[in-house]
Amino acid sequence: METIYFDNNATTAVEPEVLEAMLPYFKEGYGNPSSIHHKGGEVAAAIRKARQSLADLLGCDPSEVVYTSCGTESDNTALWSALRTQPGKRHLITSKVEHSAIINNVAFLKHQGYRVTEIGVNRSGLLDMDQLMASLTPDTALVSLLWANNETGVLFPIEEIAEICHDKGISFHTDAVQAVGKIPINLKNTKIDMLSLSGHKLHAPKGIGALYIRRGYKFAPFMIGGHQENGRRGGTENVPYIIGLGVACDLSQKRLPDENGRVRAMRDRLEEGLLTIASSMVNGDRVQRLPNTTNISFEYVEGESILFHLSHAGICASSGSACTSGSLEPSHVLRAMGVPFTAAHGSIRLSLSISNTDQEVDRALKIFPEVIEKLRKLSPFWKDGAPVLDNALLSCDSNSCQICS
């Protein structure tokens, strides 16, 4: 049984060209790029080439790129730099649908006495711009927002928000881990101060990320050590992974038309087919979103059960409910969007890549209805082909939810 991998927002396969480019730097290309001899110089030159490739994908200058270990480190670096360079400011703004790298940081900062405003979203997952505008103050040290939501693929108007923050003298950071390589980005035309990315979301290996820092922006390093990255991130460079990320960026640049054309068409066909299943719905705006992502709820069944049966049939996907062991609390993203509990618990994220095929979509569209029908026969909320709960009367609230409580 061949695997259908529809979980590319979780991680992507390392492309053969990426691996091939990395391998020499595990063998003969072992020099330290800081060394002045020829072995070090050869490696330093390869890193410069890789940095240029990343800068080309982002539309920025290579000097504005700092390598990190992952997206989480990049997020932490951006957040803590903004606070350390502006010690007099005690207010942060983010959203209710951020990645845990930001959510858990701001939760910690609340306990340190910082004031945090979490901007809400509407039923489609779009940011409440009025609330954002009303929340900006002279005491705001940083606004940090996802460019693309990892669960729904919904895009925030990041370039517009960056302009607003810049005009008010407020630092702006975006976690673009899900956006880089999937949509065109040209940072030279924006007022974004800092941007985070992660290599394993665009067919590079896990363990390499980067932080864009706009030229002239006041910055304080998070990793303090040697002179690497122009003193902005200490530690000997992870050479093979930097090289791999550079090749992945070259490939992503070439494949952007395919990502926004063929991949989008496959996603749309998959989505339309799944919506023919009774009591199914798309979570998130269907226009302002990534080309590869759909989040679909199948009401009155559990997401984890769907995933188990899909995996048994060879399909890899993720549950939007993101439940933890011993808890049926659905994802914070879907709760913030006001998704009804009967739908939130049965949400599935499908995220495609350039490696997926129309044949895989066809196979998935055959398997999904069989899985949902089987599980609904076991559901206490579904009887004789119809729901036994009024979805309009119930919403997912951890204090009142009939499933969560």
140-199 residue pLDDT tens: 999 999 999 999 999 999 999 999 999 999 999 999 999 999 999 999 999 999 999 999
* DSSP states along 146-157: ESB-TTT-BBP-
Band the pLDDT of 377: cuts 50, 70, 90: confident
Q: Yes or no: say if 240 and 26 are a contact pair by the CB < 8 Å rule.
A: yes
Give me the residue label for tokens 């956006």: 179
Active site residues: 323
Q: What is the DSSP letter of 263?
A: I
198-238 residue pLDDT tens: 999 999 999 999 999 999 999 999 999 999 999 999 999 99
The one-letter code for the residue type at 33 is: P
- Written as six digits, the tokens of 251 are 């490939």
For residues 55 and 188, give the distance between their C-alpha atoms in angstroms, rounded to a whole number: 10
Residue 161 CB contacts under 8 Å (≥ 6 apart), including other chains: 127, 132, 143, 145, 172
For residues 271 and 291, give the distance between their C-alpha atoms in angstroms, rounded to a whole number: 12
For residues 38 and 35, give the distance between their C-alpha atoms in angstroms, rounded to a whole number: 8
Sign (positive or negative) of CA dihedral 198, 93, 148, 174: negative
Band the pLDDT of 390: cuts 50, 70, 90: low
Number of H helices, E strands in the chain: 12, 15
Alpha carbon of residue 361 to chain centroid: 23
pTM given for the model: 0.93
For residues 180 and 251, give the distance between their C-alpha atoms in angstroms, rounded to a whole number: 12
Q: Yes or no: say if 212 and 186 are a contact pair by the CB < 8 Å rule.
A: no
- Angle of helix 358-376 relative to helix 264-274, nearest 10 degrees, comes to 20
Query: In this predicted structure, what is the pLDDT of residue 324?
Result: 34
Residue 353's SS3 state is coil
Report the percent of the chain where pLDDT is more than 90: 88
Alpha helices, DSSP H only, in 59-183? 71-85, 100-111, 129-135, 158-167
Query: In this predicted structure, what is the pLDDT of residue 82?
Result: 98
Q: Yes or no: say if 65 and 55 are a contact pair by the CB < 8 Å rule.
A: yes
Least confident range from 30-34, 139-143, 267-271: namely 30-34
